Structure 1
Amino acid sequence: MNTVTRRWLQRLGGFASTEGERVAGRLDAIRAGYVFCGILCTACVVLDWAILGRVTLTTLPARCVWGGTMVLLGLFSRTPPDEQSWHATIVAVVTAFCFPVLVLQTGGAQSPLFFWNIAIPLCFMAIAHGDLRAVAVSTVLNAVGVMVIVGSGGGGLVKAALWGGLSVIAGVTGMYGTYAHHRVLQAKLRHERERAETLRQLAESERRRGRFERLALLGQLAAGVAHEINNPLAYVSSNLRYLEEMGARGETCAPEELAEIHRESRLGVARINQIVRDLMSFARDDSSDADTRSSTAEVVAEALRLGRPKLQAGVRVIDEVPAQLAPVRLAKGRFVQVVLNLLTNAVDATAATAAPNGPELRLSAREHEETVILHVEDNGPGIPEHVLERLFEPFFTTKPTGLGTGLGLALCREYVERVGGTITAENREGGGARFIVTLPMERPASLGSVSGPGVAA
Structure 2
Amino acid sequence: MNKLLRLRPEDLHSPRYYRTLRRAIAAMVILVSLTPLVLVAAISNSQFHESYEAKVLEQLREVVQKHQQLIDFFLREKRGEVRALARSTSFDELCAPGRLGRELLLLQEEMQGVFVDLGVVDARGVQQAYAGPFQLGRADYSGAEWFREAMRSEVFISDVFLGLRGLPHFIIAVRRERGGEHWILRATIDFVAFNALVENIRIGRTGEAYIVNGAGRFQTTAPRGAVLPDTGWLAAQLGAPAEAPGQAPEQAPGLGPALMRATAPGAVAVQERLDPHGTDTLYVMAPLKDGRWLLVYQQARADAFAALRTARRHVLVVLGLGAAAIVVMGLWLSARVVRAVEAADAERAVMNEQVIETGKMASVGELAAGIAHEINNPVAIMLEEAGWVGDVCADLELPEADRADIEKSLTQIRTQGRRCREITHKLLSFARKIDPVARPLDVNAVVAEVVGLSEKRARYSGVDLSLALAPDLPPVLASPSEMQQVLLNLINNAVDASGPRGGLVQVSTRLEGGRVVLGVADQGEGIPKANLGRIFEPFFTTKPVGKGTGLGLSIVYGIVKKMGGEIEVESRQNEGTTFLVRLPAGEDRA
* TM-score class normalised by the smaller sequence: 0.3 to 0.5
More strand by share: 2
| TM-score, reference length from structure 1 | 0.39
Whichever structure has more helix as a proportion of its residues is 1
**TM-score, normalising length: structure 2:** 0.31
Q: Which has the larger radius of gyration?
A: 2
